[in-house]
Structure 1
Amino acid sequence: MNQVDHLRSWKDHLTSEPYRSYLYSYPHKTAYRTLETKLPLSELWSRELADTFFLYMHIPFCGARCGFCNLFTLPDKRADVHAEYVDALERQAAQWAPFIRSKPIARFAVGGGTPTLLVPEQLDRLFHIAQHVVGMDPSQASISVETSPETVTPDRLAIIKNRQVDRVSMGIQSFVESEAEAIYRPQKPQEVETALKLLKQQQFPILNLDLIYGLPDQTLQSWMYSLDRALSYEPEEVFIYPLYTREHTIVKPEQIRQSGEDRRLELYKAARERLLERGYTQYSMRRFAKAEAGSDKTLLSYGCHDEGMIGLGCGARSYTNTVHYSSRYSVGRSATASIIADYVAQNDYSYADYGVVLSKDDQQRRFILKSLLHTEGLALDGYAERFTASALADYPELNQLLDTELAAIENGTLRLTSEGLMYSDAIGDWFISPEIRELMESCVVS
């Protein structure tokens, strides 16, 4: 086989299953394991290179588990359970504060689960913890909160508005009731519309809406209907996600195959065209945003491939330049409940005992992927400055992206082309190291 035929064969293989997995962090969470020795957080964070930190709080509760969800979250609406959990999160924050107050917080996000499932008093406590325990300055940090239609209420919105939140993200997935039911999402279209009207009244600087394409029995027409309904509210950001089915998700692969198999590329292309027509800029395979969207705050900078992510709460991940760590991961209800119970009962949060220690190869691959899978691209001199080496010399397989026109180099930056962006997930999966892939494939999730 000559070089041209080899590249054509490689590209055909790469793009034949473009939705094998969703890689939004590297190494993937399924590569985490019990660490050989407990690592004191005081040492980990004293060696951190990032100039600013990203604070994330995870609230692992929701009203119901959606059919596509494999996140660390538990369907549990009990207010007393939530209060005990926030108590534990505050204890954890107090123990971590001495290690992480050395640098300012540039970004603060509250996710889950559904953070706004908490009663207003507990929701407000999260911001108190961030500001008064951890030391986050709300005037200099970008603050983001995730919500869901059924939890958007005037009292909760008043809290997050008062707490200077400048980005609210709401998962809608579909405006079509039958499609929502097919993914076990208990929402009515009118509930979604009411939530959107309340959100628009608050005039948050950034309203982000999430939609999913490739749902069972979804058509091009129904997909574009959902997208157009979302666009009618003029959100500053729109994220479009392909439907994934994984181990332990309620929706299974055969349900998608039975509904006509994979039209996701067609749906993606149609949505991309509509969003660009409406003045949105594409920043990744998933993210489209209005160029002028943003806060009036004077914000601190934080790069997409930087380390320094502080994850508070059970299920949250933390990233330093050499170690990524978290609590144990589960999807099943009983195992998740057990992990949360252990977290709430814990007294000492001052060490990391579950995660992955990044080799130099892991650090380099992470830097490349976190840059390449976004339109900003991989600045080759930035890689050389950090690792004193050439990315193309360290990873000559990147040339295959160039030779198949899935990427191009312009002004010293390696960027995916429009076609390359469409296959971002396949490219991310392809670039996983053999060692990390072995860990991922041997992971048993309960």
Structure 2
Amino acid sequence: MSPKVYPNDLDIIRNPEALRSWKDNLISLPYRSYLYSYPHKTSYRQLERKLPLSELWSGELADTFFLYMHIPFCGARCGFCNLFTLPDKRADVHAEYVDALERQAVQWAPFIQNKPVARFAIGGGTPTLLEPVQLDRLFHIAQHVIGMDPDQASISVETSPETVTSERLAILKSRQVDRVSMGIQSFIASEAEAIYRPQKPQEVERALEQLKRYPFPILNLDLIYGLPGQTLASWLYSLDKALSYEPEEMFIYPLYTREHTIVKPEHIRQSGEDQRLTFYSAARERLLARGYTQYSMRRFAKAEAGSGKSLLPYGCQEEGMIGLGCGARSYTRSVHYSSRYSVGRSATASIIADYVAAADYTHAEYGIVLSMDDQQRRFILKALLHTEGLALHSYVERFTTPALADYPELNLLVQTELAVIEHEVLRLTEEGFMYSDAIGDWFISPDIRARMESCVLS
């Protein structure tokens, strides 16, 4: 368990030895996961009653929406993946799925067309695994069913090396996509094979050369460090190889192993001492020297990167997120919901089949009703784990009380120099960013942690 500290335990702040021990305990936690959302999907359960979407969205306070479409199909499951994906390349299966997604969009449209879409993303799985005609349909649905204006929305699409073709890229270009994201993970064949990544370095380079012929405002590349057999030299080789293509954005991820991933903790131990912090520090230094700005533990981008569009604003707390497709999450201020979640192949296939066969998509049945504590912790984490930090006045504006009064344990981060308060903003330090995954894990509420730990995935 994480070294959770409750407000009545804050005598630790007045005890330097105990404070050092708390920090040492926190930063020595094993890498287990990272919080890209809060609460985590493993805390979702069958809701006590079906919630009508008309009820959920009628009072949503977000000024603009984030539209997300989930395509759960991929060519093969990678060894580090615990996402809701199904290896399935059959075009007829994909077409039936897009049919269902369009039916869902038609039924949802009356509840969500009252506000504009500021962000639109297509993820997966691998969206570009779809045949070009089905890929193009997704943009048609976004524009003509939901009402997304491509001139005002940032549009992002995930791809993979083997699915990059000129025909698909031409569609993305014509649909005003301004960010293409591609997971590479490693340019070393043996490292890719160790995580069951179905790609060869030559395939990656072919895809990158193709992408450069269809220049998008933002090209994002993903790499993973801490792979079995990886060395600092091979890690920096992959990083330098990626940088040679001058991407506007880079995401660097530590390798995580979980209960349902193919790669297990022993695979990492077999590669020798865990040097992920060394890999992170070396990559951070290299990226900053090349003119990138750090925005989180993972995200580095060129400051001038952007689409050139006049984009509608959208808040970092990610409320008003509309998730279409099986596996997609939707976020209102007080309820997060989705389809059921699984990692195993047979259970995932069954959930997708139920989604495709459904006639009614107008109720939320699976998710979580956020308590005020959940909402407050979410607000804090979504800001604190990024470089902009938590503007303390924005928390008061939202919840009326000060964050440090509601959660005095946040002072521990300041006392241990993992965070600072400057100009009324609580912000992680350079060291704090290095351990931001541990900090995020530490701040999970006891109730949410209990739900996550009692989750049984198939």
Are 2:46 and 2:367, in contact at CA under 8 Å, matched by a contact in 1? yes
Determine the structure 1 residue equivalent to 2:377: 365
- Of the three residues 307, 318, 328, the one matched with 2:319 is 307
The answer on 1:31 being equivalent to 2:31 is no
Determine the structure 1 residue equivalent to 2:288: 276
- Of the three residues 61, 74, 93, the one matched with 1:81 is 93
Deviations 1:57-94 (A, max 9, x none): 00000000000000000000000000000000000000
Are 2:414 and 2:420, in contact at CA under 8 Å, matched by a contact in 1? yes
Are 1:18 and 1:425, in contact at CA under 8 Å, matched by a contact in 2? no
| Worse-superposed segment, 309-318 or 14-23 | 14-23
Q: C-alpha distance in 1, partners of 2:434/2:332?
A: 30
The answer on 1:229 being equivalent to 2:214 is no
Determine the structure 2 residue equivalent to 1:212: 224
- Return 5+ residue gaps in structure 2 as ranges: 1-11
Change (3 A) 1:385 1:18: farther
Shift of 1:302: 0.5
- Of the three residues 152, 161, 183, the one matched with 2:164 is 152
Structure 2 counterpart SS, 1:397 = helix
Structure 2 counterpart SS, 1:349 = coil
Determine the structure 2 residue equivalent to 1:329: 341
Q: C-alpha distance in 2, partners of 1:185/1:258?
A: 19
Shift of 1:22: 1.2
Instruction: Give the partner amino acid of 1:17.
Output: L
Q: C-alpha distance in 1, partners of 2:165/2:418?
A: 45
Q: TM-score, normalised by structure 2?
A: 0.97
Q: C-alpha distance in 2, partners of 1:240/1:17?
A: 20
Determine the structure 1 residue equivalent to 2:59: 47
Determine the structure 2 residue equivalent to 1:406: 418
Are 2:319 and 2:332, in contact at CA under 8 Å, matched by a contact in 1? yes
Q: What are the equivalent positions in structure 2 for 1:232-381 lying under 5 Å apart?
A: 232-381=244-393
The percent identity for this pair of structures is: 83
Structure 1 counterpart SS, 2:198 = coil
Shift of 1:18: 5.2
RMSD after superposition: 0.7
The answer on 1:141 being equivalent to 2:153 is yes
Q: C-alpha distance in 1, partners of 2:20/2:42?
A: 31
Q: C-alpha distance in 2, partners of 1:200/1:27?
A: 37
Are 1:147 and 1:169, in contact at CA under 8 Å, matched by a contact in 2? yes
Q: C-alpha distance in 1, partners of 2:206/2:146?
A: 35
Instruction: Give the partner amino acid of 1:141.
Output: A
Q: C-alpha distance in 1, partners of 2:302/2:183?
A: 18
Matched residue pairs, number?
446
- Return 5+ residue gaps in structure 1 as ranges: none
Instruction: Give the partner amino acid of 2:328.
Output: A
Q: C-alpha distance in 2, partners of 1:284/1:440?
A: 24
Determine the structure 2 residue equivalent to 1:200: 212
Are 1:383 and 1:390, in contact at CA under 8 Å, matched by a contact in 2? yes
Are 1:18 and 1:423, in contact at CA under 8 Å, matched by a contact in 2? no
Where does structure 1 differ by over 2 angstroms across 4 or more consecutive aligned residues? none
Shift of 1:188: 0.6
Structure 2 counterpart SS, 1:249 = coil
Structure 1 counterpart SS, 2:444 = coil
Q: TM-score, normalised by structure 1?
A: 0.99
Q: C-alpha distance in 2, partners of 1:6/1:383?
A: 29
Are 1:92 and 1:312, in contact at CA under 8 Å, matched by a contact in 2? yes
Determine the structure 2 residue equivalent to 1:63: 75
Determine the structure 2 residue equivalent to 1:98: 110
The answer on 1:109 being equivalent to 2:121 is yes
